[in-house]
Amino acid sequence: MAPKHQAPRGTRDLLPADTALWRWAEDAARGVLGRYGFGELRTPLFEDYELFARTSGESSDVVQKEMYRFKDLGDRDLALRPEFTAGVLRAYLEQGLGGRSRVHRLWSTGPVFRYGRPQKGRYRQFHQLNCELIGSPAPGADAEMITLFVDLYEAWGFSDLTVLVNSVGQPASRRAYGERLREWLAPVHDRLSADSKARLTTNPLRVLDTKDTGDHALFAELGNMPRLLDVLDADDRAHWDAVLAGLEAAGVKYEIDHGLVRGLDYYTRTAFEVHDRSLGAQSALGGGGRYDGLVEMLGGPPTPGVGFAIGLDRALLVIEERGFKAPAGDSVCIVAMDGTRAAATALARELRREFAVECDVESRGFGAQMKAAGKSGARFLVIMGEEEWQRGEVALKDSKSGTQETLAPSALAEALRVKTRATGETA
């Protein structure tokens, strides 16, 4: 019989076997982010609805179809965060970070929420790793963020990634491009999806972000899609060329995708996505871009920025499907006899200040404890025999090397340190 209560559609439980992989991935990411000089920022799960509506754009799918919006008991109009950037920049302004230094490198991770059709690797509550570089207008900042994105995935074992890049220019360029799109689509206007027809009026670039297969067939039928790069002004073109030069200098392979506009309205100039083509149609691993007008849109001074988001659920699903398992820690299992149970409890507490330790709490017999120890996967076995304990000794067995030694309880912690240090691992 099914349980009375189940997780809401589009959500899931992460069991201990799952979270071991998540912890490994998060730790690997923290290492890369630390070496790039990024600091962690944690923001609320919900914000004012207007914050997301203003930054994402009223015509975006996020606002129109996917936002978890609600009123609280004080009749405040709130929404669960559908992405991180808006909340990060709200915190940047509210906490006065701009007055502390010119450039900030910030990263965040946690759950985000969008209403959509759940499918493999995609949920209504999902998890993102988000990075922002705020304060620099230089194309080198764009190149660094794309390089960081690739380095994060390489730390997780990905290789041969494809970076897709485009420039969406600035407002004047996008207006000019919007007119070209309208002219290009005029012959098939009546055959477009309802969403695309509406977007042609409110925000023509959003048409290129359509998921409708019929629209994509019409694009292919027309051919010769106008290219945004062809309407860039001199400054935007210089920025674009410098970004590409920066990627080449860093050794990052890229392809230009003229249809790449990203799903949110706040992007300016550089937009990018990273793909693993071995995944087939669902190859996108995440993306981002520059947003030089977003801080000003939120009431702050003109402040450039560039950022990206990675979908962790999707990334870790791919890692699991490729057979990767998180490295197991070198845990310790203590096996005691009737006369050493109290001492085992005290020894376990002492060792747990530094090591992962399992210790029987059910007063099971020696044989049952040994059987459980074998199933536990613990690398080290501490056997506390009664006679040995009377002599001031315990036995330490290392299942990795197959060796066993007898030593004083006071020497046990140092012996474990030496053994784990020798293999470059921690317990």
Residues 338 and 305 in one domain: no
3-state helix/strand/coil string of 266-304: CCEEEEEEEECHHHCCCCEEEEEEECCCHHHHCCCCCCC
Residues 161 and 252 in one domain: yes
> What is the domain range of residue 30?
16-170+233-321
pLDDT score at 361: 92
Tens digits of per-residue pLDDT, 329-382?
Answer: 789 999 999 999 999 999 999 999 999 999 999 999 999 999 998 888 899 999
pLDDT score at 423: 63
**Residue 87 within a domain:** yes
Residues 248 and 385 in one domain: no
Residues 162 and 300 in one domain: yes
pLDDT score at 427: 40
Distance CA 365, CA 335 (A): 9
Domain limit, last residue, from 298, 321, 344: 321
Distance CA 206, CA 62 (A): 12
Closest CA to 84 of 30, 33, 130, 134: 130
The secondary structure of 321-388 as a DSSP string is HTT--PPPP--EEEEE-GGGHHHHHHHHHHHTTTS-EEE-SS---HHHHHHHHHHHT-SEEEEE-HHH
Q: Cα dihedral sign for 288, 289, 293, 296?
A: positive
Cβ-contact 287, 274 below 8 angstroms: yes
**Residue 11 within a domain:** no
Sheet with 162-167: list strands edge to edge.
39-40, 104-113, 125-134, 305-311, 284-290, 268-275, 162-167, 254-256
pLDDT score at 327: 75
**Residue 184 within a domain:** no
CATH classification of the domain holding 344: 3.40.50.800
Domain total in the chain: 2
Residues 259 and 356 in one domain: no
**Residue 212 within a domain:** no
Tens digits of per-residue pLDDT, 292-316?
Answer: 989 999 999 999 999 999 999 989 9
State yes or no: pLDDT of 248 exceeds 80. Answer: yes
**Residue 352 within a domain:** yes
Mean pLDDT of the chain: 90
User: Which of the four pLDDT bands, split at 50, 70 and 90, describes residue 58?
Assistant: low
Domain limit, last residue, from 292, 321, 350: 321
Specify the range with the lowest mean pLDDT, choosing from 12-16, 248-252, 258-262, 367-371: 258-262
State yes or no: pLDDT of 222 exceeds 60. Answer: yes
Residues 103 and 247 in one domain: yes
Residues 303 and 160 in one domain: yes
Which region holds residue 64: left if phi is over 0, alpha if psi is between -120 and 50, else beta? alpha
The structure's pTM equals 0.84
Distance of CA 21 to the CA centre of its chain: 13
